[in-house]
Structure 1
Amino acid sequence: MTEFLLALFVFLFAHILPQIGDLRGKIISLTNRKTYIIGYSILSTVLLVWLISAALRAPKTVYYAADPTTVRIAMGLMLVAVILFVMGAMRPNSLSVSFRRNIDMENKKPGILTLVRHPIIVAFGLWAFAHIIVNGELANILLFGIMLAFSVLGMLRLNKTKATKLSAAAYQQALQKEAGSFGQRLRRALDGQFWIELVIGAVLYMAILHAHGAVIGVDPLAYF
């Protein structure tokens, strides 16, 4: 449990530190945004792998066990999560976590952003919630519970800070993606790229599902 708590502390600290004194902005000014995103993504992935592996090695205190019903629910949530992540990763998004920056493309081809402001963070939250309902061990409940809270707090923080970090004109322009009724927003979302992203997300989900047993040690398909 000591290693798990240490990994959890390091993971959370690594995500809080860039916001202290605008360290993120200072690093970007010294390098560039692309370099920062790539470096930070690699660091986050390494820390997440360590955190999950530490949770798997932690002492087992089980409060509930997975069953075919909860596994099916988790698999459905994960399908949505992976597709959302792919869609969010492939669209520029000035209002949330994004791997790309292109205001013109964001406004002309918003895709999923007309329906979900924070697709990558929502995907992360769905991933955490899906794993809470099938992992009744104390370490896993703590791990994924904190990840879920981290996602919710992240969205709330971005909703607050983006309004001040963007210029008034840029912020209002970005909000136009979400204008109109649900039907109007859905029609704007369903462009050609949307369907490509959907297929990529579904293929990636199947790859993750079939690799889960070999990589993580737990095979969801074994419940069927």
Structure 2
Amino acid sequence: MMPSGWGEFLAALVFFLVSHSIPVRPPVKAALVARLGASGFTLAYSALSLVALVWLIGAAGRAPVVMLWDWAPWQNHATFTAMALATVLAALAIGRPNPLSFGGARNEDFDPAAPGIVGWARHPLLVALLLWSVGHLLPNGQLAHVLLFGLFAGFCLLGMRLIDRRKRREMGAEEWRRLASGTPAIRPTRAGLLRLAAGAAVYGLLLLAHGPVIGIHPTL
């Protein structure tokens, strides 16, 4: 039988951590890629991550209620603001060249003289996830949710440091500094405006889907 209460939450937490750490260890990943192929590994790892995330979020909602702080109206405003910034960051970053972090595409086209969103944040997707985590942490003072969103926030902060260290080692300190030295600038382009519009649309969809999917309807 499925463990209940804190037992289920702890089991889901362990499953989440194990499913995100073991498959990406170099020997394990190499063996899985050899068997599944690069695309197969990506699909399988994404599916496993999604299952682990859904279980962890559900288990946090079913855990015993231990309140650490009370809800206040301003917390919802902070969540709306954080999520708006997170969706914009993700929309500007996904599929764009970024050799300094994960998730980049066409990294050979990256120009440190015109770094785009990377000039503002080397790890925009991790910053977006950090905003999501902190934005949801504030209005959820229940212990299980504090552990859940705190875990994600810590993962983002630690991940940025680990990726920087690994990239410096792989590229060499001089090349890493050259790529990371881009000056932040705002240069509106058609593609950038389209990405902002896409981010706004995703933000709206998240608001509409939050109630049916999560069970809580966002309100100011």
What band does the TM-score fall into relative to the shorter chain?
Answer: 0.7 to 0.9
User: Match for 1:61 among 44, 66, 70?
Assistant: 66
| Distance in 2 between residues matched to 1:5 and 1:117, nearest whole Å | 33
Cα 1:131–1:158 shift into 2, 3 Å: same
Q: 2:3 — aligned with what?
A: none
* Distance change (3 Å), C-alpha of 1:29 and 1:197: farther
Contact 1:92 1:102 in 2 (8 A): yes
Task: Specify the alignment match of 2:210 in structure 1.
Answer: 212
Relative to structure 1, the CA distance from residue 114 to residue 31 in structure 2 (aligned partners, 3 Å threshold; closer, same or farther) is: farther
Give the TM-score normalised by structure 2: 0.85
What is the alpha-carbon distance in structure 1 between the residues aligned to residue 165 and residue 181 of structure 2?
A: 19
After superposition, where does 1:119-158 map in structure 2 within 5 Å? 119-158=124-163
Percent identity between matched residues is 34
Give the match for residue 104 of structure 1: 108
Distance 1:93 1:41, change over 3 A: farther
Q: By how many angstroms is 1:62 displaced?
A: 1.6
1:66/1:134 contact within 8 Å kept: yes
Distance 2:69 2:191 in 1: 41
Seen in structure 2, the aligned counterparts of structure 1 residues 37 and 195 have a Cα distance that, compared at 3 Å, is farther
User: How many residues get paired?
Assistant: 214
User: 2:201 is matched with which residue: 203, 206, 213?
Assistant: 203
Equivalent pair of 1:91/1:111 in contact (CA under 8 Å): no
TM-score by length of 1: 0.84
- Retained in 2: the 8 A contact 1:111–1:191? no
Long gaps (5+) in structure 1: none
Unaligned stretches of 5+ residues in structure 2: 1-5
Within a 5 Å distance, the mapping from 1:172-211 to structure 2 comes to 172=175, 175-181=177-183, 185-187=184-186, 190-211=188-209
Q: Offset of 1:191 from its aligned partner?
A: 3.5
The answer on 1:16 being equivalent to 2:15 is no
CA RMSD of aligned residues (A): 2.4
Q: For the residues of structure 2 that align with 1:34 and 1:85, how far apart are their CA atoms?
A: 22
Partner AA of 1:160 in structure 2: R
- Residue pair 1:55, 1:143 contacting (<8 A) in 2 also: yes
Q: Answer with 125-134 or 109-118: which moved more.
A: 109-118
Q: Deviations over 1:70-127 (max 9, x none)?
A: 10011100111122122222213222120x5312333387431122110111111111
The residue matched to 1:220 in structure 2 has which SS? Answer: coil
More helix by percentage: 1
Q: Given the superposition, is the C-alpha separation of residues 33 and 94 from structure 1 closer, same or farther in structure 2, using an over 3 Å criterion?
A: farther
Cα separation, 2, equivalents of 1:27 and 1:165: 23
Matched, 1:73 2:78: yes
CA distance in 2: counterparts of 1:75 and 1:15, whole angstroms: 28
**Aligned equivalents of 2:110, 2:33: Cα separation in 1:** 22
